[in-house]
Amino acid sequence: MSLFSYMTQEGYDKLRAELDDLKSRGRSEAAAAIAEAREKGDLSENAEYDAAKDAQGMLEAKINELEKAMSSARVIDKSELDTSQVTILSIVKLKNLKMNKEITYQLVSEAEANLREKKISVNSPIGKGLLGKKVGEKAEIVTPGGAMQFEILDISL
């Protein structure tokens, strides 16, 4: 695993907002749930209290995970990137040679990946297979679903 996680300013801001929300609103809601469950009596037989403590533990684990991601995050300035080859933040128009279909993906960090938005991680099989390729080149990529062949049609930012 790489030392840094590269992301867009938008992705970094989204991660920061989620972390701030969990630390403020999330922690206060968890504390309120624990206090409410505590008021219901004997803690040794209080399933609500146990559930609230478990939820608090999961919240703290999520906060820890986000803090770790933020500490290794490096924001990339799009103006410093070129489109001669596929890099992180590239928007790549591909042609699936087997199915003869075109598709466009943007290569982003793991934290920003969202298939519905056509954003794939540079660490995914397809992302790794596309890095460094140029327009006109073909990429054979082994995915969990089998080998796929793509032709790079266009690279933009």
Give 20-75 as a DSSP string: HHIIIIIHHHHHHHHHHHHTTS-GGG-HHHHHHHHHHHHHHHHHHHHHHHHHTEEE
Q: Which residue has the tokens 């590239």?
A: 90
Tell me the β-bridge partners of 152: 94
Per-residue pLDDT tens digits of the chain, which is 157 residues long: 456 777 788 888 988 999 999 999 999 999 999 888 888 777 677 788 888 999 999 999 999 999 988 888 888 877 777 788 898 889 999 999 989 999 999 998 887 888 999 999 988 999 999 999 999 999 999 888 889 999 999 999 8
Domain boundaries, the chain: 5-75, 78-156
Residue corresponding to tokens 């199915």 = 99
User: What are the tokens at 120?
Assistant: 């794939």
* Greatest distance between any 2 Cα atoms in the chain: 70
The matching CATH number, chosen from 3.20.20.70, 1.10.287.180, 3.40.50.970, 3.60.40.10, for 5-75 is 1.10.287.180
pTM: 0.66
Cβ count near 59 (within 10 Å):
16
For domain 78-156, the CATH class is alpha beta
Dihedral (CA of 121, 125, 130, 132) sign: positive
User: Residue 2: its pLDDT value, please?
Assistant: 56
Calculate helix-pair angle for 47-71, 9-21, nearest 10 degrees. Answer: 150
CB 152 within 8 A of CB 134: yes
What 3-state class would DSSP assign to 89? coil
Q: What's the pLDDT at 1?
A: 46
Q: How far apart are CA 63 and CA 57, in angstroms?
A: 10
CB 4 within 8 A of CB 72: yes
